[in-house]
Amino acid sequence: MVTIRQASENDKPVIEDIMLNVVNWLDSTGKSQWTKEQVSWQGLSRYYSTDNLYIAYLDGEAVGCMALVDYDPAYWPDIKKGESLFIHKLAVKRSGTGKGVSNALIHFAKKECKSRNIKSIRLDCHQFRDKVRKLYENEGFICVDERCLWGKYHTAFYVWHYDDVICHYDSLIDENNDPTRDPKPLQEYMNKWDGQTFIDEMQLTADKTVLEIGVGTGRLALRVCGKCKNFVGIDISPKTIERAKENMTAFTNIELVCSDFLVHNFTSQFDTIYSSLAFMHIEDKQSAINKVSKLLKAGSRFVLSISKCQNSVLDFGNRKIKIYPDDAESITAYIENSGLLIEKQFDTEFATVFVAVRQ
């Protein structure tokens, strides 16, 4: 179990030990990042106090640390003090790698965001360290820039925004609320928004590539992956994506992405794109459908289910989530404006379903 606490003055040698362990390992692999002088307390204290530093313990052993500050004028000069938190010097000893320590530190930083009423976290990392970048991207961080600083430091810049929707769906996983594991009566209830008729409209075949927007824990994906060549599912909730990976281990033709559909850079087009009950979380629906149109191959299909409910808030008792209700008339206009042709429109008990084709 990983526990995290703020450092004290007595922890300076502990922090040095963690950082030095990482520096020595990086040097041994030919991927040097920090010097030993930079991670000595003399070097660290130029930028941080012990109040800025947090230590992660795994079964009582100090194995990780990070600095968490609210101002970084050197790398983020346009961000005013207190507008964002910044993660620096996230490091995990070799004895703690592969055990969720980095994720625990990031989750701690997210909780600090909420407790301090700060809406974002920013960080930078080496542009060509793919594993490190994947760690942050899987935690919902979005790359906003890539630059070579001072002619020698290839740097990727990432931002994570505190989002009530992300926190809500992460909380559902913490509460073990997973539609794929619901009893049959609840699964049948969810089918009233989509179900087999919805899936049939995708016209899936074994040679097709498929994208689901708002994959969730895989409720629909589990019924789709076995009927197509390749499947990509995207969702903004890190914990939801992790649960989807657990639920879909039987499939080898899947890629699950934690990112915002509107900003994610897809590298290929798809034969089928579908979404059910996700567009209520998208404010700029025209931009979303325009992007769908661009991602579809010629002759390919977009199948969309929108709820008939027009409430602007999802009320879960202990939390309320602002949403952007869909209406059939507006969605029709958005689809037509995108250049897609509506082939079919029909109602289920709780939803309206659109089937559109790119000509």
The residues, any chain, with a CB within 8 Å of residue 310's CB and separated by 6 or more, are: 325, 327
pLDDT of residue 287: 96
77: which 2 tokens?
């000069």
310: which 2 tokens?
């027009």
Domain 2-162 has CATH 3.40.630.30: yes
What are the residue boundaries of the structural domains of the chain, listed by start?
2-162, 182-357
102-106: which pairs have CB atoms within 8 A and are 24 or more residues apart? 102/64, 102/135, 103/135, 103/139, 104/2, 104/4, 104/56, 104/64, 105/4, 105/54, 105/56, 105/64, 105/65, 105/66, 106/135, 106/136, 106/139
Please give the Cα distance from 168 to 165 (Å, whole number): 5
Helix (H) or strand (E) run with residue 16 in it: helix 12-28
Tens of pLDDT along the chain (359 residues)?
A: 899 999 999 999 999 999 999 999 999 999 999 999 999 999 999 999 999 999 999 999 999 999 999 999 999 999 999 999 999 999 999 999 999 999 999 999 998 998 898 989 999 999 999 999 999 988 888 898 999 998 888 999 999 888 888 888 988 998 999 999 999 999 999 999 999 999 999 999 999 999 999 999 999 999 999 999 999 999 999 899 999 999 999 999 999 999 889 988 899 999 999 999 999 999 999 999 999 999 999 999 999 999 999 999 888 877 888 899 999 999 999 999 999 999 999 999 999 999 999 99
182-357 CATH choice from 3.40.50.10860, 3.40.50.150, 3.40.630.10, 3.60.15.10: 3.40.50.150
pLDDT of residue 115: 87
Tokens 């910044």 -> residue: 86
- pTM of this prediction exceeds 0.85: no
Pair 260, 238: CB distance under 8 Å: no
pLDDT of residue 320: 84
225 — phi, psi (to 5°)?
-55, -35
Tokens 């000595």 -> residue: 40
